[in-house]
Amino acid sequence: MKKKGLIVGAGGISWFAWKLLIVVFLTLTIVLCMLAFLSLQRFPPSHSQNPSSVSRRFLHPNWDSISFRGDPKVAFLFLARRNLPLDFLWKSFFENADADKISIYIHSEPGFVFNESTTRSSFFHDRQLNNSIKVAWGEASMIEAERLLLEQALKDPANRRFVLLSESCVPLYNFSYIYNYLRASPRSFVDSFLDKKERRYNPNMSPYIPMSKWRKGSQWITLIRRHAEVIADDDVVFPVFKMFCKRSHNCIPDEHYVQTLLAMHDGEGELERRTITYTEWNQSATNMDKSSWHPVTFSYEDAGAEQIKRIKDIDNVYYETEYRTEWCHNNSTQVPCFLFARKFSRGAAMRLLSEGVISQFDASAIMDPKQ
C-alpha cells in the first residue's frame, strides 16, 4: 500500500518537498509584492522636491537635458479612427502658421497611411504612427494610443506643448493666437475634479492608486513637456488601469487616467484645472441619468458666427462635485476658456472656414465637382 507523504517511484518528489516548494513560492510572491508596494510609496514626489524633478526617475536618458535651437513647438496630436475628415480645415489653419513652430502626429488604425490618396493636405503626409494599435472606445487602448502619441512627440526636443485632439476637433482661433496663449502659461491645461458621485473607483486599485488621488476630467488635454514625460514613462499606474478600469465596470479610462496620474505626482499645483477644448453635451436626460449624456455634433446650422461667439465668450467653468468655479486665467490675465471645440461635422467645418473664423476661405474649393 502506498501512503501519502512517501516518495512515489524512483523519480518522485515527497509530499514534504512539494509543501516546501509551495512555501518558497508564496514567500517570494509576498516579498515581491512588498517591494512593489514600497516602490510605489516613493512614487509621488514629496512637497520638498523641486517641481521640475517630478518625472526625472521616469525619463528616457536622452530626454532629460537635451537642448534645442529655434522656436519652441506646439505638437498637435490627433486621435483618429481612420482618416481626418476635417483635414481641409486644418490645412487652412496650418497654412497660416509658422512651419517651424508646429509638429503633427496622428494615431490612426494600424496600417492606415496618410498620403495623396487619403488626405487633401500635405501637412498630414506620413505623419501617422508606425506602431499604432487598435483602439476601442471606453477601453485602456484609448489611453495607450495617447501615450504612444506623446512618446513619439517627445523625441523632438523642440516640442514644448502637446495638444491632444480628436478627428472632429476644430480650432476657434488662428495659429498665432493659440501659440501665444499656450506659450504664455507655464502650466498644463487638464480638466480635473473629484469623482464623488459616479463611484467609478475600483477598490482593487489600492494601494497602487489611492482613492484620495482618484480624479475625473475631460480626455482632451494640453500638456507642458514635463507632464508629457510623466505620462509617456509611466509603468506603474497604466497597468493598474488596464486591469481594473473597464467600461464593463462603468469606468472609462480616458476620463480618469491622466488626471489621477498627475494627482499622484502631486502635480495639480502645476495645472490649469480645465480643458481648452469645448464640448457641448446633450443634457436632455435628467440629472439622475447622466450616463445617457453624449457630446453634440455641430451641423452646418449650428456653426454660425453667433454660436461660435457664444463659445468664445465663456470665461468660467463650474464643477458641481467640488462646488468650484474655475475662472479662466493665463498668467493672472483673464482669457477665453476654449481654443478648440468638438464635435464638428464636415458641413460645420466648411461654414467656419467660409465665414472666416480660421481664415478667409472659399468652401467651394473643397467640394467634389462630381457631387
Q: Which amino acid is at 210?
A: P
The answer as to whether 212 is a domain residue is yes
Domain hosting residue 85, numbered range: 73-276
Domain with residue 124: its CATH number is 3.90.550
User: To 10 degrees, the CA torsion angle through 211, 212, 217, 219?
Assistant: -60
Q: What are the φ/ψ torsions at residue 285 (nearest 5 degrees)?
A: -75, 160
Looking only at the bridges linking them, the beta strands covering 188-189 and 271-272 are parallel
Q: What are the φ/ψ torsions at residue 9 (nearest 5 degrees)?
A: 80, 170
pLDDT of residue 28: 66
The answer as to whether 158 is a domain residue is yes
Interatomic CA distance for residues 2 and 14, integer angstroms? 12
pLDDT 10s digit of each residue in the chain, 371 long? Answer: 443 333 334 444 465 666 666 666 666 666 555 555 544 444 443 333 333 333 333 334 333 345 778 899 999 999 999 999 999 999 999 999 999 999 999 999 999 999 999 999 999 999 999 999 999 988 999 999 999 999 999 999 999 999 999 999 999 999 999 999 999 999 999 999 997 766 788 999 999 999 999 999 999 999 999 999 999 999 999 999 999 998 877 889 999 999 999 999 999 999 999 999 999 987 654 554 455 568 899 999 999 999 999 999 999 999 888 889 999 988 788 999 999 999 999 999 999 998 887 654 444 444 443 33
The answer as to whether 238 is a domain residue is yes
Q: What is the pTM of this model?
A: 0.79
pLDDT of residue 35: 53
Nearest to 358, CA basis, from 82, 97, 40: 97
pLDDT of residue 363: 44
Q: DSSP class of residue 59?
A: S
Interatomic CA distance for residues 150 and 233, integer angstroms? 10
Nearest to 163, CA basis, from 275, 15, 292: 275
The answer as to whether 8 is a domain residue is no
Cβ-count burial 286-321 (b if 16+ within 10 Å, e if not):
eeeeeeeeeeeebebebbeeebbeebbeeeebebee
pLDDT of residue 369: 37
The answer as to whether 174 is a domain residue is yes
The 3-state DSSP class for residue 2 equals coil
Measured between alpha carbons, how far is residue 184 from residues 160, 190, 331, 332, 336 in Å? 12, 16, 7, 10, 14
Nearest to 149, CA basis, from 190, 90, 105: 105
pLDDT of residue 14: 62
Q: Dihedral sign, CA of 154, 71, 337, 77?
A: negative
Interatomic CA distance for residues 345 and 267, integer angstroms? 36
* Residues 6+ away with beta carbon under 8 Å from 86: 167, 168, 169, 170, 344, 346, 349
Nearest to 259, CA basis, from 330, 161, 189: 189
Pair 218, 279: CB distance under 8 Å: yes
Nearest to 215, CA basis, from 245, 186, 236, 235: 245
pLDDT of residue 9: 45
The answer as to whether 321 is a domain residue is no
The answer as to whether 350 is a domain residue is no
C-alpha cell at 241: 488601469
- Strand ranges inside the chain, DSSP E: 73-79, 102-107, 159-166, 170-171, 188-189, 193-194, 215-216, 222-224, 271-272, 277-279, 316-319, 324-327, 329-330, 333-334, 340-342
How many structural domains is the chain composed of? Answer: 1
Interatomic CA distance for residues 144 and 308, integer angstroms? 32
58-75 pLDDT per residue, tens:
334 333 345 778 899 999
Measured between alpha carbons, how far is residue 29 from residues 33, 35, 162, 171, 203 in Å? 6, 10, 40, 51, 21
pLDDT of residue 7: 38
Interhelix angle for 237-244 vs 257-264, to 10°?
Answer: 140
The answer as to whether 302 is a domain residue is no
